[in-house]
Structure 1
Amino acid sequence: MDVVGKSVKRVDAYDKVSGKAIYPQDIYIDNMLYGATLRSTKPHAYIKVDISKALELEGVIKIFTAKDIKNNYHGVVLKDHQVFCENKVRRVGDPIAFVVAISKEVANMALEYIRIDYEEIECVFDPEIAMKNDSVKVHDNESNIVHHFKIRNGDIDKGFEECDIIVENEYKVPQVDHVFLQPESGVSTIDEDGNITLYISTQYPHYDVIEVSEALGIESNKVKIINCTVGGAFGGREDIMMQIHLALAAKELKRPIKTVYTREESFLAHSKRHSMIMKYKTGVTKDGKLKAIKVTIIGDTGAYASWAINVLRKAGVHATGPYEIENVWVDSYAVYTNNPFSGAMRGFGATQVPIAYEQQMDILAQKLNMDPIEFRLNNIFRKGSKTATNQMLKESVPLERCIKEVKKHIDINKKGCGIGIMFYGTGYGNGFPDISNATVKINKYGKLEIYVGATEVGQGAKTIMSQIGAEVLKINIEDVIFINEDTSITPDSGTAAASRQTYNTGNAIKIACEKLRDEIAKEYDIKKYDLKEVYKNMDDDKLVKHASFTAYTTTMDEETGIGDPYWPYTFGACGIEVDINEKTGEVELLKAVVAQDVGKAINPQLIEGQIDGGFAMGVGYTLFEDLNVINGYIKNNKLSKYLIPTSLDTIDFKKIIVEDEESSAPFGAKGIGEPVIVYVAPAILNAVASKLDKRAYEIPLTPNKIINLINS
């Protein structure tokens, strides 16, 4: 191939490194006003709002509250968020009012003049307590349990009876933040016809249009999203933040409005990774064959559901790991509390569970006196294997190759070394329509224009999809113009999440470009054509092609969980060697190797960049990041307290790209943006256990926890 498989430069690289890329913060418009959000300081309380004093402040134009919004509810799955809390707040940081003033200084000053009378209510911060019938209810529901996902496969009691060794442990992981570099910001405008435009950085612009139009009670064609450059997302930009506030203000005031969150407000505003309690019981026969597994996962979704149903379902589907186990029992719960709300984050439920299942594998291997690699190879998925939900894996299952590649470069049996392996299902899952649309056309300059509503969040979507289009038409990537920012001219291509854009939207682009290529081939030799000549000599309607692609998925049985929830699956392995300063409790990474299944590497350099980013994020999750949420309050709400890895905390490591093409994918390529974080934490935890001969069942492994572990 000419373009696919090559490490071409990112098409957006120059603008980003030169400072030409436009973020919402960069936008200034004449006659612009500034908005600021008043947020709850209590985790659970009835409220009364008095804005009269703030309205008297010079320079305050308008203060919006619940009475100003037509439809006060929104949410990506359940409509349980309020645009402005009307009678009750359910978490610290809930939006109550939106001040618009002549400057950001006046807007922020006005927040101090708004009086909120709080009548505090009993809170619940522990999800296990929240599950009880007599627990205080966060919403007006009979139960705080948002969702209960189940897998029932085989005979669990008989399975454990046939086991020679059974291991039971409980693992805990905390809420963590996405810490994208660019805090939320946005600008709204309105024209003389009442059309609202939002300049924002978001992961799903077309769905933002729906949520904004529904909240304001206007037609969706009256709302346009211009998706500016996105300074990182990782799932944190999937929920609506300021979009409705800005649109409402522009609609009512007929002027441009701008809002920029501080880092502290960003911590309050967006979702977190779900904290989880994971109870594992795993059984194996004396010859090293996994026989039975019983899992209970309790996910704290905080005050609002966001993506909780999907996250806890994905955690449940992946709870057994990439292992053949004939007897499976899984209960996965999403539970409301008065903690910060949880939602989508890189790995989406599949990141938490390997911390449990991979440590269980090492413990079992040790009890069997087996090599941890050989124990895994004795049980892993291969072509023809069935997952816990009885899904047959028919192709592209190179997990054994990934493990053996890691084994070549690191001795997992050496003291201080550990391994983590994983599988990851692409897409929305569970039969949800997972559709991407694309439009392509030839313009008068002889360029290929690609129109998709697929967000570039830093993962390289613009480059990868331009490569796909260029390859099909056999043109240079410089002759591709990729347009994805404007919802009024791009088709809906779904959210930039679930590692679905390369697979889903890449497929839609490939199909559309193939239609265009076939049209051109009717009149030209496809190996010797010039697009300028094609434009001059062919009818316009023949030079525009549309295509849609829908990913394969089936709805799982509600009682058994049986079904084909995701496709395709991605596989990978990670080996890590650590040293530990037993006086300070610091964990030092000495060596690491990652072998990542990609299907087909469309752009190897971009894949290596994704692996670097996923590895660093995994290190942060395991060793550093601690929101320190106490009674609903985030104590570590700035980067001086919420520690993430620096360049001194990560290492240069071996990256191995494993190719095993997936026939349903564009040129065989799978998405890998999320999977590359999944195996890092379990590999570090297993390495630490090997070094200390003591195991940690909770992260982050901060120095004080290491010292406590050593002294335990």
Structure 2
Amino acid sequence: ASPTHSPTVGRSVVRVDGPEKISGEARYGDDYHLEDMHYIYLVRSPHAHARICKIQVEEALKEPGVLGVVTAADIPGQNRFGIIVEDQPVLAEDRVRFRGEAVVMVVASSREIAKKAAEKVKVDYQPLPALFSPFEALKPDAPQIHDSGNVLSNPVVQRGDVEEGFSQSEIIVENTYETTFIEHAYLETEAGIAYRDEEGRITLLVSTQTPYMDQEATAKVLGVPNHRVRVIQATTGGGFGGKLDVSIQPFLALAVYKFGKPVKVTYSREESFLSTTKRHPYTMTYKLGAKKDGTLVAARVSIVGDTGAYASWGPTVIKRAVIHGCGPYNIPYYFAEGKVVYTNNPVAGAMRGFSTPQIAFATESQIDALAAKLGIDPLALRLKNCLRPGSITATGQVLGESIGIEETLRAVQEKWEEIKGRYPLGRQGDLAYGVGIASMWYGIGNTALSNPSHVRLELEPDGKIHLYTSAADIGQGSSTVLLQILAEEMEVPMDQLRLTTADTLTTPDSGKTSASRHVFITGNAILDAAGQLKEALRKRGAELLGCAPEDLAVGNGRIYSRSRDKSASFAQVAGYLRDTRSPTFFMGYFDPRTSPLNELGQGAPYQTYGFGTHLAHVQVNTRTGEVKVLQFIAAHDVGKAINPKGVEGQIEGGVVMGLGFALTEKFVPEKTHNFSTYLIPTFEETPEIYPIIVESPELAGPFGAKGVGELAMIGTAPAITNAIHNAVGIRIYSLPATPEKIFNALRNER
């Protein structure tokens, strides 16, 4: 390393997007305005399932200020979009499949006029039988929501003969668990603008997690090549997976394509709740077998998920669930089957954790129930069975290094031993106190699929290094961390770097912001490009300085001979490169090593995994059923914390999001419209959180790093429900654990 270089990896540097955000200079989708801007309002179905008989728009077109209307018949390209299965229409054609589905788009000179005109659109519907339960949809005589049938995906993971495993088990625990629809509840609703640029491209400036996927989907709808659509990410106020699907993008593009005017749309909170994707509700039946000494032997998991009216991310979500259903444990005999089923409920898609929070609720509840039946300490049972280097997972993958689950268990144990004397335990009048733990694991990146990242580095004339990446920072801090990785590799201070992100015209495709992938995957792509840049600096610098390339080192914005008698600045080398017409930009690439799963779910679905353990200390009011989480310890193996404060922020945010999943959040189709009835945690409900960073370096990761964003919430709900059981002896089998649910369970116990 350069003697004057101050390391950036492992330091909590100021976030690069922080100053703009706290000053109010950052511009979100709704902050943009262009001259002659027009506005979109959508006519949506009031029915969960109905045939469209007739659409009449004449009265709407008479409204002063209306530019025009668009129906399915006006779409020039493909009236379908979807991540894996393109089954969702932009505007409904012959029938609607969920309440809130878009049918007609109105474009006018103001949002108010567009809304008023939309109210004059007449759509004649013929209601059809609707299905609101996946179990109803699975019946042989159920109406078929799609021609392909009501089962979207049905993956299996099998390791060994699970019945043989149960025959060897000395104790068996079997229960069924349920979770519900969950709303993403990001701070900023879907918003953006669109216009034609000077080259005739339709340009979208939108709140998004995935510019390139937006570009591809939108171009298909318009029937044009991808390069005729440009997508730029506006500053984005949260996503949590909800902004991986297209929402407003095709509407904006269609309006510009048809009418030629710049347009804008911003969803109200009610429109966002009504029309965007949710977390999949799961019903999970879990049978777990073990020896009397606590050794886990066998597990059978059956998952039925409600994917709603269209596919979205359903196939990948259920595949991840069956892979992760064994938890971070050695279980020699394992069989998991998942089904995601079409219904006439809202579309379920990607949400933080990609269904691992649902399955962890079942797995970790079962581990606790088994511990209680065996009379073994729950933490000791987890330590006995947790994965270690060399362990074989349920998919047959042999794990290498960076398996930090044991370290997270011990870290939580040590922290609780340190602080537990300060807090009440046991019963005190109507109040009961309890402690619960839960462990978790999460495969980094897409499941058993290629998911590469491309980046570009440019050495600019002033010697600064410019990173171009489409990695969309949605508030999680990826832009900062990626620059820290680059600064560390190039041994330069952060102020010697520039950054351009998330623009399909100017940045290469770094993949979507999901699956906690950017630190590991895009970080490695940056290292690849930086290696090429350093090689060019040494090779061309050697020509400039008249010495051998192997005698040159790079650091602190200069190349210098190891004897330090010769040196040149990056700016001087950049000038020499341009003078000699040599390349000044370098493309980086990385795709994690994975393999497809066979018909029994065997293979290597991820190159690396994150691990964690959570401990919750709760207070239960036995008179009312109310639960208050008082303290929370969260230890996470992140490989290497590139930015420790950023990691702690992700852990704390994950805990709070998991708190809502555990205790208050429940989206009820056709009944939940906004935050008046959808209850997310506030500061009042937030416990004292102790984040603990465990670093079990991933040798394939940039400086040993893996990821933490999804992992941070997975274990929160089961830690809380296990703590409730510890406090009052009530096992929670369905989320959220509302006061009514606990009160009724306590009353039944009495």
Do both share a fold (TM > 0.5)?
Answer: yes
Deviation at 1:193, TM superposition (A): 4.2
* Among candidates 160, 165, 171, match of residue 159 of structure 1: 165
Contact 1:307 1:343 in 2 (8 A): yes
Query: Separation in 1 of the partners of 2:514 and 2:244?
Result: 8
Deviation at 1:506, TM superposition (A): 0.7
**Equivalences for residues 113-192 of structure 1 within 5 A:** 113-141=120-148, 143-191=149-197
Contact 2:244 2:350 in 1 (8 A): yes
* Among candidates 301, 307, 311, match of residue 305 of structure 1: 311
**Equivalences for residues 99-498 of structure 1 within 5 A:** 99-141=106-148, 143-191=149-197, 193-410=199-416, 416-430=434-448, 432-498=449-515
Query: Separation in 1 of the partners of 2:572 and 2:677?
Result: 60
Q: Which letter does structure 1 place at the counterpart of 2:447?
A: G
Tell me what 2:682 maps to: 646
| TM-score with structure 1 setting the length | 0.97
String of CA shifts for 1:421-479, please: whole Å, max 9, x gaps. Answer: 0010011112x221100100111222110001110011111100001111111111111
Tell me what 2:45 maps to: 40
* Among candidates 500, 517, 531, match of residue 570 of structure 2: 531
String of CA shifts for 1:266-314, please: whole Å, max 9, x gaps. Answer: 1112100000000011111111111111110001000011000000000
Tell me what 1:509 maps to: 526
Query: Separation in 1 of the partners of 2:648 and 2:286?
Result: 33
| More divergent stretch after superposition (335-344 vs 652-661) | 652-661
Q: Which letter does structure 1 place at the counterpart of 2:696?
A: D
Unaligned runs of 5+ in 1: none
Query: Separation in 1 of the partners of 2:373 and 2:582?
Result: 68
Query: Separation in 2 of the partners of 1:192 and 1:568?
Result: 45
User: Is structure 2 residue 129 aligned with structure 1 residue 94?
Assistant: no
Deviation at 1:154, TM superposition (A): 1.0
Query: Separation in 2 of the partners of 1:459 and 1:545?
Result: 27
Deviation at 1:378, TM superposition (A): 1.2
Query: Separation in 2 of the partners of 1:565 and 1:525?
Result: 39
Contact 1:429 1:554 in 2 (8 A): no
Contact 1:194 1:251 in 2 (8 A): no
Q: Which letter does structure 1 place at the counterpart of 2:445?
A: G
Q: Which letter does structure 1 place at the counterpart of 2:517?
A: R
* Among candidates 715, 731, 735, match of residue 679 of structure 1: 715
Query: Separation in 2 of the partners of 1:643 and 1:286?
Result: 42
SS of equivalent to 2:482 = helix
Deviation at 1:567, TM superposition (A): 2.0
Query: Separation in 1 of the partners of 2:173 and 2:553?
Result: 65
Query: Separation in 2 of the partners of 1:525 and 1:570?
Result: 35
Q: Which letter does structure 2 place at the counterpart of 1:475?
A: V
* Among candidates 587, 599, 606, match of residue 546 of structure 1: 587
* Among candidates 586, 602, 622, match of residue 562 of structure 1: 602
| More divergent stretch after superposition (405-414 vs 163-172) | 405-414
| More divergent stretch after superposition (250-259 vs 518-527) | 518-527
Q: Which letter does structure 2 place at the counterpart of 1:482?
A: L
SS of equivalent to 1:526 = strand
Query: Separation in 2 of the partners of 1:161 and 1:508?
Result: 48
Query: Separation in 2 of the partners of 1:63 and 1:185?
Result: 20
SS of equivalent to 1:627 = coil
User: Is structure 2 residue 694 aligned with structure 1 residue 658?
Assistant: yes
Deviation at 1:566, TM superposition (A): 1.3
Deviation at 1:166, TM superposition (A): 0.7
Tell me what 2:32 maps to: 27
| Bigger-Rg structure (1/2) | 2
Q: Which letter does structure 2 place at the counterpart of 1:568?
A: T
String of CA shifts for 1:399-436, please: whole Å, max 9, x gaps. Answer: 11100111112269975000010010011112x22110
Contact 2:630 2:688 in 1 (8 A): no
Query: Separation in 1 of the partners of 2:687 and 2:363?
Result: 26
| More divergent stretch after superposition (700-709 vs 594-603) | 700-709
Unaligned runs of 5+ in 2: 1-5, 427-432, 542-551, 560-568
Deviation at 1:25, TM superposition (A): 0.5
* Among candidates 87, 90, 96, match of residue 83 of structure 1: 90
String of CA shifts for 1:221-243, please: whole Å, max 9, x gaps. Answer: 11101111010000000111111
| TM-score with structure 2 setting the length | 0.93
Relative to 1, partners in 2 of residues 1:46 and 1:181: Cα closer, same or farther, differing over 3 Å? Answer: same
Identity, % of aligned positions? 40
Deviation at 1:536, TM superposition (A): 2.1
User: Is structure 2 residue 627 aligned with structure 1 residue 587?
Assistant: yes
Tell me what 1:601 maps to: 641
Contact 2:211 2:231 in 1 (8 A): yes
User: Is structure 2 residue 623 aligned with structure 1 residue 610?
Assistant: no
Deviation at 1:538, TM superposition (A): 2.5
Contact 2:353 2:711 in 1 (8 A): yes
Query: Separation in 2 of the partners of 1:49 and 1:314?
Result: 41
Q: Which letter does structure 2 place at the counterpart of 1:687?
A: A
Deviation at 1:156, TM superposition (A): 1.4
Query: Separation in 2 of the partners of 1:191 and 1:482?
Result: 23
Query: Separation in 2 of the partners of 1:39 and 1:464?
Result: 41
Deviation at 1:192, TM superposition (A): 5.3
Q: Which letter does structure 1 place at the counterpart of 2:20?
A: D
Deviation at 1:381, TM superposition (A): 0.4
Q: Size of the alignment, in residue pairs? A: 705
String of CA shifts for 1:338-389, please: whole Å, max 9, x gaps. Answer: 0111000000011111111111111111111111111111111011111111
Contact 1:472 1:517 in 2 (8 A): no
Query: Separation in 2 of the partners of 1:664 and 1:192?
Result: 44
Q: Which letter does structure 2 place at the counterpart of 1:694?
A: I
Tell me what 2:544 maps to: none
Contact 1:66 1:84 in 2 (8 A): yes
Aligned-pair Cα RMSD in Å: 1.3
Q: Which letter does structure 1 place at the counterpart of 2:500?
A: I
